[in-house]
Amino acid sequence: MTKTHGTFLSILPLLLFVGIFLGFGIYNQDFYALPSPIAALIGIVSAFVLLKGKVNEKIDTFLKGCGDGKILTMCIIYLLAGAFATVSKATGSVDTIVNLGLNYISAAYFPVGIFVIASFLSFASGTSVGSIVTLGPIVIDLAEKSGSPLGLIGAALLSGAMFGDNLSVISDTTIAATQSLGCEMKDKFRVNFKLAFPAAIIAIVILIAIGFSQETSAVPLEQKDYNFILILPYLLVIALSIIGINVFVVLFSGLLFAGVLGMGYGTFSLMDFAKSSYEGFTSMTEIFLLSLLTGGLAALVEKAGGINFLLRNINKIINSKKTALLGIGGLVTVANFCVANNTIAILISGKVSKEITEKYGLKPQESASVLDIFACYVQGIIPYGAQILILISLSNFKMSYTDLILNSFYLHLLLVITLISIFFRSKNN
């Protein structure tokens, strides 16, 4: 199978993958009804049927795509991140973060307090969905008892969860973005932080102002136990990541530290530590398989000229570094609207985004940050995304989607600041 100039047919397998995933989601009213690796597999089968070339050549191309160094690196990082998250939770670190925060917030500070707690929990655990599931029932109960608007409190939780997930070094979106673009996590974090932090500060000010303007009643909260030491594995991972230690070393160190703490406090035995680590591995099975399969699918599409076809059409509207970054943001936005999963959207867009980055001389960490931020924003506002669906269902559908979106100040600020930075950056290039 020789590399060609590419036609619409050459990207059809990729479109089938997206279309099937989207179609099943709409039909079942659940975008997670069909396991994403199955949708990817259908796309792969269609590539073998539709694209020209000998079967053996296609198999060879597919396997090389699956075995690409960046893909395998991504997969191993997923496994370590899953193990660290699971062991840390088993140690009691998640409960400590939640209890520590809730012990010291008053009704007036509920909105900003929830935002901060959710931010740290999501940043430490690498999952926005997990943070929402953990905090959601508590937060909704607090809102109802204190008379705080459900939409405001829900939006604070949603915003905090997306803030932490977007920046977290163990988030699957961060892993996907950095590995797809070929940059270091610490470099992406620094670029991302410069955009997310101002948005978070402004959002905090707004939430404080709104919190004090609301008529709320004090809620007597039962003081919950916490052990600050149990947060140390998260702090270790954060510190090592920021100073630039290899991500494998970072995650393995965090995993071992969490395990030692758990065994030291008698929370679990050595065998339980091993089982929790393996449970963390298996929790990443879907994203692990999806990364392998999309790597193979992308290789087939690329060799058939599909990537060139996409680039030719995208390049019609790209004429500068500014429009190149906007093109990357637009590409992942469309993908995320289609599949309702920011990680999958990044994986789908990664190959083309890397080509655009190289062609227009962009910094990989800059492109990775834009890729992750746009995916984060879309994931946080689509009504059929897991984050909003979970929030609304946890409130027994008392929470309004409109209120959630209107009060998600951080998400809107993040998008605005990112767009401003793109336009400002272009003046210097």
- In one-letter notation, the amino acid at residue 125 is S
Percent composition of the chain: helix, strand, coil (DSSP 3-state, to 5): 80, 0, 20
- Biggest distance spanned by C-alpha atoms of the chain: 71
Helices (H), 51-167: 55-66, 69-91, 93-102, 110-125, 128-146, 150-167
Least trusted range by pLDDT, from 93-102, 330-339, 371-380: 93-102
Mean per-residue pLDDT for 136-163? 86
Q: Count other C-beta atoms under 10 Å from residue 306's C-beta.
A: 28
Residues 256-275 have pLDDT tens digits of 999 999 999 988 999 999 99
Q: Count other C-beta atoms under 10 Å from residue 99's C-beta.
A: 19
Q: What is the pLDDT, as a whole number, of residue 1?
A: 47
348 CA to centre of own chain: 14
Residues 378-427 have pLDDT tens digits of 999 987 677 887 888 888 888 888 899 999 999 999 999 999 999 887 55
Q: What is the pLDDT, as a whole number, of residue 269?
A: 93
In contact, 181 and 368? CB cutoff 8 Å: yes
Q: How far is the C-alpha of 224 from the C-alpha of 94, rounded, in Å?
A: 13
Buried b (16+ CB within 10 A) or exposed e, 357-370: beebebebbbbbbb
Buried b (16+ CB within 10 A) or exposed e, 190-200: ebbeebbeebb
Q: Count other C-beta atoms under 10 Å from residue 109's C-beta.
A: 16
Q: What is the pLDDT, as a whole number, of residue 97?
A: 74
What tokens were used for 9? 């047919």
Residues 186-244 have pLDDT tens digits of 899 999 999 999 999 999 999 999 877 776 555 555 666 778 898 898 888 878 876 77
Q: What is the pLDDT, as a whole number, of residue 2?
A: 46
Residues 87-101 have pLDDT tens digits of 988 998 877 877 776
270/335: higher pLDDT: 270
pTM confidence score: 0.76
In contact, 201 and 157? CB cutoff 8 Å: no
Q: How far is the C-alpha of 399 from the C-alpha of 405, rounded, in Å?
A: 11
- Of 125, 403, 155, nearest to 254 by C-alpha is 125
Q: Count other C-beta atoms under 10 Å from residue 385's C-beta.
A: 22
What tokens were used for 70? 């960046």
